[in-house]
Amino acid sequence: MLTAPNWSAIGSSTAFSAFAGVLAALMFAAMVLLLSREVQITPVERGSIEKPLAFMFGSFFSLIVAAFLFAAMSGERQSGSQTKQYVEGSLAALVLSIGVVQTAVALAWLLSQRKQVGMPLELSRRIVDATIVIAAFFLTGVGLSPLSYIHPDWIGSVTLAVWLVAGTLVAASVPVGWWAQRLAVERPGETAGVSPVAMRSRRVTLHARELDQIVRYVNLAGVGIAVSLALAWNLISGADDKTLRWLYEFPGVLLLVVYGVLAFGWFAALESCFPKPNQKAS
């Protein structure tokens, strides 16, 4: 993917659009089936589907936006748009990655809500981790593809090293998300004079409240990121290759760093929202 002549973002855009569209359709069907089933069971059996639905809605929106952006890319000419196609493709790919990871997290919360907190929940976490790692190297591979011809003096091993380092840094969001989830939410002064049993109960309550806020903000941020990337894509679609080559020179390369930081922060935030093995949706 790092050698531009061997892979075309525009040539692959039709397949990516179909992929995102199919996932969006499946997510819509899952939301309808889940809501229909909740009407037929008692409140005790029902529990709360607030968190699974929040991630499902966010995933559905991101996948729809990704399908639209890739579909729009498929109508462009491949000749004379070398740098442009990879810049556009990197924006659409990030929206698609957001939707795919949100889908995996939504499944994990649904398993948690249904009290499947053993091996299924643990496996779902590994799937989320694997999805983030794949997305990290995919995103950096698309974004850094123009380096192979913008800097022809670079030997292949240098370009490969840049891609591996960038992909590894974005994939490091997985352990950072684990660490963020394990942070204590207990605030100083709130446990003074409280018995150990009550302290543990209060800590659980504080964690639930904190997690509710994190889930809310993460999904709202996901919608905002998807909209922002779609607007940026529309602006870039009117630029030419000569203008966009500036992104791969200093100081334009700082925008690519911002892109990587955005992906890193988003993936880490999703990891921090993951339900704990002994925790069900509340």
The per-residue pLDDT of the chain, averaged, comes to 80
Domain boundary assignment for the chain: 4-272
Q: State both tokens at 178.
A: 């684990």
Report the C-alpha gap between 276 and 108 in whole angstroms. Answer: 10
Which pLDDT score, from 0 to 100, does residue 46 have? 47
| 250 φ/ψ sector (left φ>0, alpha ψ -120 to 50, else beta) | beta
How many residues can be counted in the chain? 282
Instruction: Assess contact for 69 and 92: CB atoms under 8 A.
Output: yes
- The mean per-residue pLDDT over the stretch 7-19 comes to 89
Q: State both tokens at 110.
A: 């649904």
- The mean per-residue pLDDT over the stretch 251-259 comes to 89
Report the C-alpha gap between 177 and 174 in whole angstroms. Answer: 5
**Residue matched to tokens 């999703």:** 270
pLDDT band at 205 (very low <50, low <70, confident <90, very high): very low
Query: If we measure between CA atoms, which residue out of 9, 91, 80 comes closest to residue 242?
Result: 80
**Residue matched to tokens 């446990």:** 191
pLDDT band at 117 (very low <50, low <70, confident <90, very high): low
Report the C-alpha gap between 22 and 10 in whole angstroms. Answer: 19
Residue 198: what residue type? A
CB atoms within 10 A of CB 236: 16
Which pLDDT score, from 0 to 100, does residue 208 have? 58
Which pLDDT score, from 0 to 100, does residue 281 have? 46
